[in-house]
Amino acid sequence: MAAGRLVICPTPIGNLEDVTLRVLSALREADVVACEDTRRTRVLLDRYGVKASLVSYHEHNERSRAGELVGRMREGAVVALVSDAGMPVISDPGFELVRASVAAGLPVEVLPGPSAALAALVASGLPADAWHFAGRSCWSWARRRRARRTSSPPSRRCGGWSRPERSRGRRRRWSPS
C-alpha cells in the first residue's frame, strides 16, 4: 500500500468565507482532519458541507497524537491538519506532526492561505521590504527589550502575537529607543 501524506490546511481568520477552494477540496479528500478544537472545525466543515472524520490535535496531546497520525499515514491515510484560525504551526499546534512526518519520509503539502502576521504588516502602513516575526511576544519588559535587540536589526520591522488585554501600550514599548 502506498504511504499517505500530510496536508497543512490554513483556515479563515474571522470570516468563514475566506477559506480557499483548495483547502475545502483537501478537507473533503482527507481520511482524517486533525484539528485544534473539533467544535470550531465542525462549524467550518458544516458551513461547506464537508463530511470528515475529526481528531483532536492540540498543545496538550501534540506529541502522542503525532505518532498515531504518522502511523495512519504510513498505512496510506491522508491527514489534513488545521488550526482554529490561520496557518497551522505558526503559533499553533502542528510542529511535532510536521517534524515526525518529515522524519518518516512522508510527503508534507502546505496549502497557501491567510496569515495574520502578513495582514497586520500590510495594514500597518509600515514599509514591508524587511521585517521579523517574533511569534508570541514576551510579557516582561526586560525580555522584550532583549529580544528586540538580539533578534532584529534596528532598520527592520518586528511583529509578534499578544492578547488584546495585554497589548495596551505595547506598541510604544516595542518601538526603537
Q: What is the pLDDT of residue 131?
A: 72
Residue ending a domain, choose from 77, 110, 143: 110
Whether 27 and 87 map to the same domain: the answer is: yes
- For the chain, the domain total comes to 2
Q: What is the pLDDT of residue 86?
A: 87
Per-residue pLDDT for the chain (177 aa), expressed as one digit of tens each? 677 999 999 999 989 999 999 999 999 999 999 999 999 999 999 999 999 999 999 999 999 999 999 999 999 999 999 999 988 887 788 999 999 999 999 999 999 987 777 777 788 888 877 776 666 655 556 666 666 666 555 555 566 555 555 555 555 544 444
- Domain boundary among the residues 94, 110, 126 is at 110
Q: Are residues 84 and 146 in the same domain?
A: no
- Among the three residues 70, 90, 110, which one is the final residue of a domain in this structure? 110
Owning domain of residue 169: 116-174
Tell whether 32 and 100 lie within a shared domain.
yes
For residues 17 and 82, membership in a common domain is answered with yes
Cα-only R_g, the chain:
18
User: Do 157 and 88 sit in the same domain of this protein?
Assistant: no
Residues 62 and 144 placed together within one structural domain of the fold: no
